[in-house]
């Protein structure tokens, strides 16, 4: 009996034994700790990915809204710019029209004055009154450049004069120089252009020339005098 039991244990049909390796507790703890960390990291990544996706969508929506606002503001700006340009164009046209009208008025005024002068000139020539009288029909003083001025004078002898009137023209200038009123008479005694002021007229004579003021002087008034043998025959103030 004992022999049979011994042979059964040694035979192939004998019950098998399982050898189980026993791991230390700290190895198992480390294993489960690694698993827990991996689960935590994975969960956090999934959570942050969800947040990032939702935040990106909100950002895209906000950008689209801002683009719409920019387009709307750009359209309003373009409309306002067009209105401003139209208003400025209208103002420029109005200013241009006003300037043209002003130029036409000035031209008509100048033409009217010229016609009046010519009418007075021919009326005086045809008139028999004050026969032989010397008259300053027109006189103009204009600034050329700096202290240089130009005079234009038209003299006329009324009626049917039988002989020429001879004499000399003088320009009496009132100047402001160094805060003082100064009188200056042209032509000066030693001037080389005295002949430009000589008068010899039967019907009419035009006198024109240029004179220079002293440096720093300001012309305030001008008086024209027509002299005959040193005596004043005619004197007339001229507007500057």
Q: Along the 240 residues of the chain, how does pLDDT read in single tens digits?
A: 545 555 555 454 545 555 455 556 555 666 666 677 677 666 666 656 655 555 556 666 777 777 787 788 888 888 888 888 888 888 888 888 888 888 888 888 888 877 776 666 666 555 555 566 888 888 999 998 888 999 999 998 876 666 888 999 999 999 999 888 999 999 988 888 889 999 998 888 899 999 999 988 999 999 999 999 889 999 999 987
d(CA 77, CA 84): 10
Output helix, strand, coil percentages for the chain, rounded to the nearest 5: 50, 30, 20
| Neighbour count for residue 182 (Cβ, 10 Å) | 14
Tokens of 12: 């192939």
Q: Which two tokens stand for residue 50?
A: 């969800």
- State which H helix or E strand residue 58 sits in: helix 25-126
DSSP reduced 3-state for 52:
helix
Nearest to 171 by CA among 135, 200, 145, 139: 139
Could you tell me the maximum CA-CA distance found in the chain, to the nearest angstrom? 195
């Amino acid at each position: 009996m004992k022999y049979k039991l011994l042979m059964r244990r040694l035979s192939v049909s004998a019950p098998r034994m399982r050898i189980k390796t026993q791991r230390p507790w700290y190895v198992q703890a480390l294993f489960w700790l690694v698993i827990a960390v991996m689960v935590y990291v994975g969960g956090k990544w999934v959570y942050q990915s969800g947040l990032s996706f939702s935040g990106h969508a909100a950002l895209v929506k906000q950008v689209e809204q801002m683009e719409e606002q920019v387009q709307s503001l750009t359209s309003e700006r373009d409309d306002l710019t067009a209105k401003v340009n139209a208003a400025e164009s209208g103002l420029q046209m109005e200013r241009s029209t006003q300037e043209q009208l002003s130029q036409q008025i000035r031209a008509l005024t100048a033409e009217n004055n010229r016609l009046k002068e010519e009418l007075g000139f021919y009326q005086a020539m045809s008139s028999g009154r004050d026969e032989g009288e010397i008259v300053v029909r027109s006189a103009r003083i204009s600034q050329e450049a700096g202290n240089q001025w130009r005079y234009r004078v038209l003299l006329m002898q009324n009626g049917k004069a039988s002989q020429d009137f001879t004499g000399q023209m003088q320009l009496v200038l009132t100047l402001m120089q160094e805060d003082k009123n100064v009188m200056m008479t042209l032509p000066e005694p030693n001037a080389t252009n005295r002949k430009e002021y000589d008068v010899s007229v039967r019907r009419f004579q035009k006198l024109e020339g240029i004179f220079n003021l002293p440096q720093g002087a300001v012309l305030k008034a001008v008086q024209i005098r027509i002299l005959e043998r040193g005596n004043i025959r005619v004197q007339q103030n001229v507007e500057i």
